[in-house]
Amino acid sequence: MIRAHFGLQKNPFAAETFTLLTHQQEIFDILKVHAQQGGLCLVLGEPGTGKSVLKEMLLTHDPKRLITPVVNRTLHTYHNTLRILCAAFQIEFNGQDHHCERLLVQEAFRVHRAGKMLVPIIDDAHLMMPECLRKLRLLFEDFPRSHNLVLIAQPPLLQTLALVQNEEIRSRVTYSVVLPRLGPEAIEAFILAELDRAGLGHNTFTPDALALIVRSGEGLLRRTKNLCVSSLIETVRDQTRIVDLKQVNRVLIQPHWRKDCDAPL
């Protein structure tokens, strides 16, 4: 709808067109170095700070040389997590944990002998049970030393790892970073860069509308992106080509944007 209305070839603010911001690129480069040397890395941040963008860049960076099996469903037991890993490695799962562990280790060494880097990713790791995380840590101890296990999580994972019983995991962390909320200048630059990528002029958002979006996004990339896209949809509904305060405010009065609204009884 937006693409047809504005005569665009690409959807604006589409996740597949995102490029890494400066601070994300620095983190990405460090993760690649740890993949060569071996490591356990923590990528932490509030929802919407750009963790998913980093994950997607790892997945698509160099699939022939950078092997990135992903565990997305972290609420599962260790048994089911092994099944997910087997599927990611394209290994037949026969239901016995010790057999699957042996096959996973063999596949990891095969990848290593082929001169490829192995970067297993556990997304939403803060939701994983500590016991399951400890068993995975022991499994990855048998992997080639050059692999890099990346835990993507929200900051509460740090409190979990600070517990005495989890010291064995925390002591093996080789790199950790917390993705910050961005300042107004960085958020504005992000919006304008996305307009450029989609082929829209910077004047698509009036200065007042842009300032309101930057302020309401609260430094979160996902929140900013959703507000921009929703405002563009309202512009299409109004059959105009300029996003003004009218369209942005129409989005901001929706219940999920209002922190002070009362929940319905």
Q: What is the mean pLDDT of residues 99-107?
A: 91
pLDDT tens digits along 44-75:
999 999 999 999 999 888 888 888 988 888 88
Note whether 191 and 67 are same-domain residues. no
Note whether 217 and 127 are same-domain residues. no
In a domain, 145, yes or no: yes
Inter-residue long-range contacts of 206-214, CB under 8 Å, 24+ positions, other chains counted: 206/242, 206/243, 206/244, 206/245, 208/244, 208/245, 209/243, 209/244, 209/245, 209/247, 209/248, 212/245, 212/248, 212/249, 212/252, 213/248, 214/184, 214/187, 214/188
In a domain, 263, yes or no: no
Mark which of 151, 179, 207 sits at the end of a domain. Answer: 179
In a domain, 84, yes or no: yes
Note whether 171 and 229 are same-domain residues. no
In a domain, 239, yes or no: yes
**pTM of the complete model:** 0.87
Mark which of 129, 145, 179 sits at the end of a domain. Answer: 179
Note whether 160 and 190 are same-domain residues. no
Note whether 170 and 187 are same-domain residues. no
Specify the pLDDT at position 222.
Answer: 93
Note whether 64 and 116 are same-domain residues. yes
Residues of the domain holding 90: 22-179
CATH number at residue 211: 1.10.8.60
Note whether 237 and 173 are same-domain residues. no
The identity of residue 57, as a single letter, is: M
Note whether 229 and 245 are same-domain residues. yes
Q: How distant, in Å, are the alpha carbons of 47, 141, 151, 189 from that of 20?
A: 17, 31, 19, 13
- Per the structure, how many domains does the chain have? 2
Tell me the three state secondary structure of residue 192.
Answer: helix
* First-residue to last-residue Cα distance in the chain: 35
pLDDT at 124 > cutoff 70: yes
Note whether 188 and 244 are same-domain residues. yes
Note whether 207 and 248 are same-domain residues. yes
Q: Which of 14-28, 109-123, 166-180 has the lowest mean pLDDT?
A: 14-28
Contact 140, 110 (CB under 8 A): no
Q: Where are the alpha helices (DSSP H) in 217-264?
A: 221-237, 245-252
Q: What is the mean pLDDT of residues 9-38?
A: 87
Mark which of 134, 157, 179 sits at the end of a domain. Answer: 179
